[in-house]
Amino acid sequence: MVDRDVLAVVDLPGRALERSRVLMAKYADVPMSLADATFTLDSDFSVYRFRGRRALDLIPSRR
């Protein structure tokens, strides 16, 4: 997909990259499904909630 310009690979800021490493280490022993591995820069995902309460952690955040 990268070769066809459908997908672009971008550099993550240091903070986001470090957070990704922390999360990968934390959940290293947990099997991963396709939905778990989804990474998006689409800020519309901020509307989703876990059990109607906690928002997803988006990288990069809107802070």
pLDDT, tens digit (0-9, with 9 covering 90-100), for 9-63:
777 777 888 888 888 888 888 776 655 656 777 777 788 887 778 887 776 666 5
Residue 29 falls within a domain, yes or no? yes
pLDDT of residue 56: 77
Total structural domains within the chain:
1
pLDDT of residue 48: 81
pLDDT of residue 35: 58
pLDDT of residue 19: 83
Residue 63 falls within a domain, yes or no? no
Report d(CA 55, CA 45) in Å as an integer.
9
pLDDT of residue 18: 86
By the 8 A CB rule, do 43 and 33 touch? no
**Structural domain that includes position 36:** 2-55
Residue 46 falls within a domain, yes or no? yes
Residue 33 falls within a domain, yes or no? yes
Residue 27 falls within a domain, yes or no? yes
Burial (CB < 10 A; 0-12, 13-18, 19+), residue 5, is: exposed
